[in-house]
């Protein structure tokens, strides 16, 4: 594990909104993953996605591409539909009674909502980290990390190595390595969230959706997670919802700005992250990223 | 820094006592709920005292043989005066436990399956209908279960009993000798199972429905099938509740009187052969004898009641231990 860029990151953590553009400019450029897009597939595409909760139209007409091996940040004020959108991307939206959606979500060009699709396979390929940590309290820490393998009935020859690797990547290894047999619920909130990240990594998803993964974390763990996100983007496509502009600027290649202006939430603008933070096309985006609004 | 040095090592204080002074409304409410909470204890205690007082004479006379022997006779001379009595409950106690365990063994898997179906698979409209039917079943008079068990269930249960006997007869408890299959503990157990299924189902369904949604979603998001979600999230969460519900069912099965009385052939001899048409049951014995009992025999029945009461308490105590051990882990 390389911690070389830690100091650099600390500086970035203290960046003020006015210097966001320069942070974003320093961030990794898209398409620099070493594995090439073939191993990653061609990514995820949302086509005219709408979402409803009963009669409430929560999200309107969002079309967004997530090219393979990139990190896309979703930003926007509270209640604008970011979580709703991200949950349509791995078919978690449909668990809410009365929820409905329209449009298409294409994984490697195939619609994941197509009738006859094995939805468990879809969710295995499109992993998710929730806003609120939700480890399995009946399992130990170690079992939690490997729970995805068990749940999806996957085989892995070297479980101990995998467990350690995932916990290291999630920045939790040092804190739990001596008590892997303790219960998942015995960790602090931030530790639980990192455990959930480790759990999502263990099944090696093609796409990882993260809904404010750092909202319960301290700055140190947050940096660790950001490191992880950057490493993961070599082998995964990542979508991250965040309220932290600096975080969006630090980790993402592309940023999409969402806004609900009275009506359903919409995507106002999407572009390379550096552009969103330096010269957004839409006035509302500029107001939001400069903190003048929202 | 210097200040700290001057101070030297700080003495570690002993923890403070933390008290709160509740408001009047809170005290009043507390008094009301305390009364409610203690009333069950008081009622239970009064019943135990009553039974103990009534049955003391018999217990003192019979001693330990009251629960270790099986004979129950009252001899009277031609004037109706009692000449000799023997009271032994062993056959009835064994029968009670046997029937209740058969009932729980059958009822729990069925109930858990039903609860899983209702909580995770049934469409909303069907669920509503089934839930009200199950609740209705819980309130059904037990004499009707008894009649139904006797006239409808018995013939087919007899068929099943014969089948079990044919293929598993080499196991001692499934032996039947001589071949009498009607009115057996097995059939009583099946009737009891049907009676406690609503209770166990309702309680299990209730705990399943409380499974935290975020945990269920976490499992689904990891690519779990519905069955896997149930197995790894819902069942561990609900285990304590299911055990508790089963124990309530067990208690009900041990105390059930009329239904067992209707279907079971009561015999004053310990019988472990569950398919054989002879069994015992403390509550049914009391019902059987109460009508024409002399005052002296009634005392014996009271003592029998006390023993049943203590047996139920004991089983519930064991159950609580099990729940306490297994309950919190999945929460
Ligand atoms: N389970 C639900 N039932 C009904 N309406 C919902 C539900 N979840 C969200 N909504 C509504 O959908 C809209 C979008 O909510 P969503 O959770 O996607 O917002 P968000 O952008 O993630 O906000 P935040 O940043 O606060 O997490 C809101 O108006 C919200 O009230
Ligand atoms: Mg949200």
Is the confidence at residue A5, as pLDDT, over 60? no
Across the range B141-163, mean pLDDT stands at 89
Residues of the domain holding A103: 6-24+41-287
- Contact of B242 with B204, CB cutoff 8 Å: yes
pLDDT value of position A31: 42
Q: Which of residues 77-96 of A touch B (CB under 8 A)?
A: 90, 92, 95
% of residues, chain B, pLDDT over 90: 42
pLDDT in tens, A200-227: 999 989 999 999 998 878 888 888 889 8
Q: Chain A closest CA to B281's CA: distance in Å?
A: 40
Geometric angle at alpha carbon B313, from B309 and B318, rounded to 5°: 150
Average pLDDT over residues A184-188: 86
Q: Confirm if B184 and B280 have CB atoms less than 8 A apart.
A: no
Residue range B77-134, pLDDT digits in tens: 888 787 888 898 899 999 999 999 999 999 999 999 999 999 999 998 999 999 999 9
Q: Quick one: pLDDT at residue B6?
A: 56
The domain limits of chain B are 26-84, 89-330
Q: How many residues does chain B have?
A: 331
The CATH fold assigned to B89-330 is MetI-like fold (1.10.3720)
Using the 8-state DSSP alphabet, how is residue A239 labeled? E
Say how many residues make up chain A.
294
For residue A179, being part of any structural domain is answered with yes
CA neighbours within 13 Å on the CB side: how many for B205?
24
C-alpha count within 13 angstroms, C-beta hemisphere, residue B323 = 16
Q: Which ligand is nearest to the CA of A62?
A: 1
A142 located within any domain: yes
Q: pLDDT band at residue B273, thresholds of 50, 70 and 90?
A: confident
Handedness of CA B316, B317, B318, B320 (dihedral sign): positive
pLDDT of residue B183: 87
CB contact under 8 A, B220 and A123: yes
* Residue A214 belongs to a domain: yes
Q: Which long-range contacts (CB under 8 A, 24 or more apart) does B69-72 make?
A: B70/B268, B70/B269, B70/B270, B70/B280, B71/B268, B72/B268, B72/B285, B72/B289
B5 pLDDT band (50/70/90 cuts)? low
Looking at A133-142, A242-251, B140-149, B175-184, which range is the least confident one?
A: B175-184
Q: What is the total count of domains within chain A?
A: 1
The answer to whether residue A94 sits within a structural domain is: yes
Span from the CA of A121 to the centroid of ligand 2 (angstroms):
24
Among candidate residues B251, B253, B243, B232, the one with its CA nearest the CA of residue B207: B243
Phi and psi dihedrals of A32, rounded to 5? -100, 10
Does residue A264 lie in a domain region? yes
Nearest to A233 by CA among A6, A65, A68: A68
| Closest residue by CA, ligand 1 atom 5 | A53
- Percent of chain A surpassing pLDDT 70: 85
A157 within a domain of the structure (yes/no)? yes
User: Is it the case that residue B43 has pLDDT exceeding 70?
Assistant: yes
- pLDDT score for A4: 43
Chain B interface, mutation test: which of A134, A144, A150, most B Cβ atoms within 10 Å?
A: A134
Q: Report the gap between the CA of A269 and the closest CA in chain B (Å).
A: 28
pLDDT of residue B206: 92
Q: Is residue A294 part of a domain?
A: no
By CB atoms closer than 10 A (0-12, 13-18, 19+), residue A270 is buried
**Residues of chain B neighbouring A183 (CB-CB closer than 8 A):** 329
Q: Which residue of A has its CA nearest to B226?
A: A120
Residue A31 structure tokens: 């398409």
Q: Is the ipTM of this complex over 0.90?
A: no
The string of pLDDT tens digits covering residues A35-54 is 333 456 678 999 999 999 99
Q: Which tokens sit at A117?
A: 């699709």
Q: Is the pLDDT of residue A138 over 50?
A: yes
CATH number, domain at A67? 3.40.50.300
* Residue A151: inside a domain: yes
Tokens of B172: 């001692």
Kindly report the number of other CB atoms within 10 A of residue A33's CB atom. 18
A56 lines ligand 1 (CB under 6 A): yes
DSSP A43: -
**Alpha carbons B248 and B104: distance in angstroms, whole number:** 10
Q: What is the residue-averaged pLDDT of chain A? A: 84
pLDDT digits (tens, 9 = 90+) for A117-132: 999 999 999 999 998 8
CB contact under 8 A, B219 and A95: no
User: In this predicted model, which residue has the larger pLDDT, A4 or B274?
Assistant: B274
* Residues in Cβ contact with A60 at an 8 Å cutoff, skipping those fewer than 6 apart: A50, A263, A264, A265, A266
pLDDT for residue A35: 36
pLDDT one-digit tens code per residue, B221-254: 998 999 999 998 999 899 888 988 998 899 889 9
- The whole-chain average pLDDT of chain B stands at 88
Beta carbon of A83 within 6 Å of any ligand 1 atom: yes
CA separation, residue B67 to residues B62, B87, B301, B303, B308 (Å): 9, 9, 13, 10, 11
CB B86 within 8 A of CB B63: no
């Amino acid at each position: 594990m390389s911690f070389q860029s830690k100091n650099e990151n600390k500086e970035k953590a203290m960046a003020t909104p006015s210097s966001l553009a320069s942070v974003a400019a320093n961030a990794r450029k898209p398409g620099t993953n070493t594995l090439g897009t073939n191993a990653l597939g061609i990514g995820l595409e949302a086509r005219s996605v709408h979402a409803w909760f009963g009669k409430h139209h929560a999200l309107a007409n969002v079309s967004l591409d997530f090219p393979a091996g990139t990190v896309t940040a979703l930003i926007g004020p509270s209640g604008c539909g970011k979580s709703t959108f991200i949950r349509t991307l791995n078919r978690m939206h449909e668990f809410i009674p009365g929820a409905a959606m329209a449009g298409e979500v294409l994984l490697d060009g195939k619609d994941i909502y197509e009738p006859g699709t094995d939805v468990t396979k879809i969710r295995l390929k499109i992993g998710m980290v929730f806003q609120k940590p939700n480890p399995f309290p009946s399992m130990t820490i170690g079992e939690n990390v490997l729970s995805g393998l068990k749940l999806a009935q996957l085989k892995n020859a070297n479980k101990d190595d995998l467990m350690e690797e995932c916990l290291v990547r999630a920045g939790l290894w040092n804190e739990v390595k001596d008590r892997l047999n303790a219960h998942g619920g015995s960790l602090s909130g931030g530790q639980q969230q990192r455990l959930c990240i480790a759990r999502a990594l263990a099944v090696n998803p093609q796409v990882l959706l993260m809904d404010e993964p750092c909202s319960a974390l301290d700055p140190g763990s947050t940096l660790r997670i950001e490191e992880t996100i950057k490493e993961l983007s070599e082998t995964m496509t990542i979508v991250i919802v965040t309220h932290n502009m600096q975080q969006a600027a630090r980790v993402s290649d592309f940023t999409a700005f969402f806004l609900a202006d009275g009506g359903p939430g919409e995507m106002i603008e999407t572009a390379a992250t550096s552009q969103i933070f330096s010269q957004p096309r839409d006035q509302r985006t500029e107001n939001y990223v400069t903190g003048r609004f929202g | 820094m210097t200040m700290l040095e001057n101070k030297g090592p700080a003495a570690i204080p002993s923890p403070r006592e933390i008290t709160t002074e509740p408001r009047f409304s809170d005290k009043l409410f507390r008094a009301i709920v305390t009364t409610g909470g203690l009333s069950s204890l008081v009622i239970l205690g009064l019943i135990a005292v009553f039974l103990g007082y009534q049955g003391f004479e018999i217990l003192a006379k019979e001693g330990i043989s009251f629960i270790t022997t099986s004979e129950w006779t009252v001899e009277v001379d031609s004037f109706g005066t009692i000449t000799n009595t023997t009271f032994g409950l062993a056959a009835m106690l064994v029968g009670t436990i046997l029937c209740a365990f058969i009932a729980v063994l059958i009822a729990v898997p069925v109930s858990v399956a039903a609860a899983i179906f209702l909580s995770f698979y049934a469409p909303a409209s069907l669920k509503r209908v089934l839930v009200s039917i199950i609740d209705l079943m819980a309130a059904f008079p037990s004499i009707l279960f008894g009649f139904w068990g006797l006239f409808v269930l018995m013939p087919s249960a007899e068929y099943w009993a014969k089948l079990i006997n044919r293929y598993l007869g080499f196991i001692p408890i499934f032996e039947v000798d001589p071949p009498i299959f009607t009115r057996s503990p097995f059939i009583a157990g099946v009737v009891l199972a049907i009676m406690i299924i609503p209770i166990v189902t309702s309680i299990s369904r209730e705990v399943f429905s409380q499974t935290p949604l975020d945990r269920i979603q976490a499992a689904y998001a990891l690519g779990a099938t519905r069955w896997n979600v149930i197995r790894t999230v819902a069942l561990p969460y609900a285990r304590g509740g299911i055990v508790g519900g089963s124990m309530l069912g067990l208690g009900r099965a041990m105390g059930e009187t009329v239904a067992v009385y209707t279907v079971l052939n009561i015999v004053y001899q310990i019988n472990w052969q569950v398919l054989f048409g002879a069994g015992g049951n403390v509550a049914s014995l009391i019902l059987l004898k109460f009508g024409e009992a002399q005052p002296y025999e009634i005392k014996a029945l009271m003592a029998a009641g006390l023993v049943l009461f203590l047996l139920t308490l004991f089983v519930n105590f064991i159950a609580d231990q099990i729940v306490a051990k297994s309950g919190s882990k999945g929460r």
